[in-house]
Amino acid sequence: MANDMNRRGFLKYAAASALGMGALGVMTGCSSKETASSSAASTSGAVYTPGTYTASAEGYGSDVTVTVTFDETSITNVVVDSSGETENVGAAAAEKLADQVLSAQSSAIDGVTGATKTSKAVKQAVADCISQASGGAIVEGGDVAVTDDVTVGGNTDWLGTAPEVAESDITETIETDVLVVGAGNAGLMTAARAASQGAKVLVIEKGMSSMNERHWIGAVGTTAAKEAGVEVDKNKLVAELCRYASHRCDERLIRLWVNHSGEAMDWYQEVVKQYNPDVKFHMEWDVGKGGHDTYYVPATMHNFQDDIPEHDYSSATAEYGFASLQQCVTDNGGEIVYEVAMVKLEQDGGKVTGVIAKAGDGHYIRIKAAKGVALCCGGYAADKQMLATLNPDAYQSIVGSDASALDTGDGIRAAMWVGADKDPDPTVMLFDRGIIAPNETVDGNWEKSGYMHLGSEPWLKVNLNGERFSNESVPYDFILHAAFMEPGHLYNTIYDSNWMEHVKQFQQIGCARIEPSQSGGKLQIFSWEAEQGLLAGMEQGGLIQKADTLEELAEKLNMPADAFVATVERYNELCAKGEDEDFGKESYRMLPLENPPYYGCRQGATVLCTLDGLRINTKMQVLDTEGNPIEGLYSAGDCSGGFFAHNYPEYIVGVAIGRTLTEGYLLGDELAKA
């Protein structure tokens, strides 16, 4: 490899970055120095009252506390306590954030990629401490504000142009066979498979760790499925997926998943069991009654499970799935480095030869990839302006986000800068689980939303005028699309004190399931106890309203009482008849609202990811605007497209992650033999 000494320095930086925050096992970051520059931005000439000041701000699920010590002219010590944040993300960022504050002598810091909410909390808390120490003479704000300046629709320049990087700024050159950009599901699967086939693999990830592994793995024809006696009509499944997409998709890519997901997931299982012999690859064959009248609902969902009582299935999947793929990469000579971001692709005569990347300490690296570059760096759900421009309807439905903060469209932009084509149809994975207070609206502030997991249940749903507007027994995003046509793009979900029995009868599947599957295995996301706790917390926080009468509930939800009461009376009448004459919901899901207290909440969409990505062929080669492969450039997962259009086919449980892993598996083979 070229410049091996520099390469070792680059890898040493990445390893030290991880060790400095993770291996130390601390969730608190502390930085100090003896003398601070009095010319630092924002505090030049400042006069502080010497002492130590503390402030807190809300981070990602917890309060982040910052303690700042001042002398008369500078910040001398910073301690960040983010111990309540996500362990490998916000909690691990504490030391780096403290260093940034000390260096900037200000709250105007860059923050840590992937730990957006934790970074924002630190900025707010530091600004508070500075205000305290200066007696209010210095009030810092900057980008601390929650609201965003986003233009909905129109022709905003979300694409931009490739940044210029001076040759003199590139201080390292690294050579490898395969460069994978992104250490998520697609990236790790691609890297593990390519490395296992003998390729020399380097994975770069701009975040601090591998993130967002999903647990619902959709596959057809696995060994686990065969053992469970599951048979799927492949042609019918392909037709159903194409129907969801109105055939605005590449059927060849869909058939690629249908025909190869079985072998891909069997290989994935072998990798996991190599390192964790007792882990089981569980097949959930029970799909209940949901959707059978209208939709084809095959059994496709798999996950990893173990016999450890403290583990639910999701923790087992997260612990064993990603960890095993990472181990497979490194055991086969590959390397994974973090806090290294792709800046742009490089070409020679039209062929993509590698990338210019930027390390966490700010220096630039040229990485040459002899066999190819695989863009596996996700979609753009965290880039609000890109989302609002490309998919304004979806943006105006969203009240909350479960998206990774790293999903900012980097791979899509970089590929388009070298001539790549992108899906023409905006496609986003939305869930009907956003919940906001009755006086709130869709305004781009995604931090005010709670998480209403039970929002996916097909209870009565009415618009803001108290009127029923749709069959509630539809895929997650369909009710959101229907609500977009209603006033305010929002709706109210209504249930009563008999909600637990109703949920049992609804027989939801996939990540909406609460009742354990007949196929055995562990619970999905939440137990009954957890659901009760979530509801109680949201009621206490004013997101869920409770009332003894329908009239009172209407008042609390800001709806016209007469219209709402009439809607419920009509709904109960149809439930008694056993037939939904108005909207055609299945009779077994027509359950009356007649047991007070009554409950209601205002709902909108939560966004998980985008699904319109780069156009690819069945070799995962990225295509240009003429439909021709761009030599040396590949993509898989949400960064790629051609599979979905306009919506997510929720009743094909796990198809998103199954497609991503299958593409990564096949891409690994392609790159190894390139």
Q: Which domains are seen in the chain, by residue range?
A: 4-37+50-139 (3.90.1010), 173-180+187-206+215-369+614-673 (3.50.50.60), 428-607 (3.90.700.10)
Contact indicator for 181, 434 with CB cutoff of 8 Å: no
Q: How confident is the model at residue 59 (pLDDT cuts 50, 70, 90)?
A: confident
What is the pLDDT confidence band of residue 324, given thresholds at 50, 70 and 90? very high
The β-bridge partners of 53 are 68
Distance from the first to the final alpha carbon of the chain: 19
Higher pLDDT among residues 340 and 320, named by residue? 340
Please check the confidence at residue 503 and state whether its pLDDT lies above 90: yes
* pLDDT at res. 338: 96
Residue that wins the pLDDT comparison between 14 and 391: 391
pLDDT band at 145 (very low <50, low <70, confident <90, very high): very low
**What value does the mean pLDDT take over residues 601-629?**
98
pLDDT at 437 over 90: yes
Residues 6 or more apart in contact with residue 310 via CB below 8 angstroms: none
Q: What is the mean pLDDT of residues 440-464?
A: 95
| CA neighbor of 297 nearest in space, from 241, 227, 225, 228 | 241
* pLDDT tens sequence across 467-494: 999 999 999 999 999 999 999 999 999 9
Identity (one letter) of the amino acid at 545? Q
Cα 154 to Cα 391: distance, rounded to the nearest angstrom: 10
Averaged confidence pLDDT in the chain:
88
Assign residue 125 a region: left if phi > 0, alpha if psi is -120 to 50, beta otherwise?
Answer: alpha
Per-residue pLDDT reduced to its tens digit, 159-178:
999 999 999 999 999 999 99
Q: Closest by alpha carbon to 46, among 124, 132, 141, 143?
A: 132
384 pLDDT more than 80:
yes
- What is the Cα–Cα distance from 340 to 362, expressed in whole angstroms? 9
Percent of the chain with pLDDT over 90: 70
141: confidence class by pLDDT, cuts 50, 70, 90: very low
- Residue 46's pLDDT is 52
Residue 23 has pLDDT above 70, yes or no: no
Give the mean model confidence (pLDDT) for residues 206-231.
Answer: 89
Using pLDDT thresholds of 50, 70 and 90, give the confidence band for residue 519.
confident
**How does strand 621-623 pair with strand 351-359?**
unpaired
Mean pLDDT of 117-129: 87
Q: Determine the pLDDT at residue 118.
A: 86
User: Residue 154 corresponds to which amino acid?
Assistant: G
Mean pLDDT score, 343-349: 98
User: What share of the chain in percent tops pLDDT 70?
Assistant: 87
Three-state secondary-structure class, residue 341: strand
pLDDT level of residue 91 (50, 70, 90 thresholds)? confident
For residues 75-91, average pLDDT: 85
Q: What is the pLDDT of residue 155?
A: 78
Mind listing the pLDDT tens digit for each residue in 222-266? 999 999 999 999 999 999 999 999 999 999 999 999 999 999 999
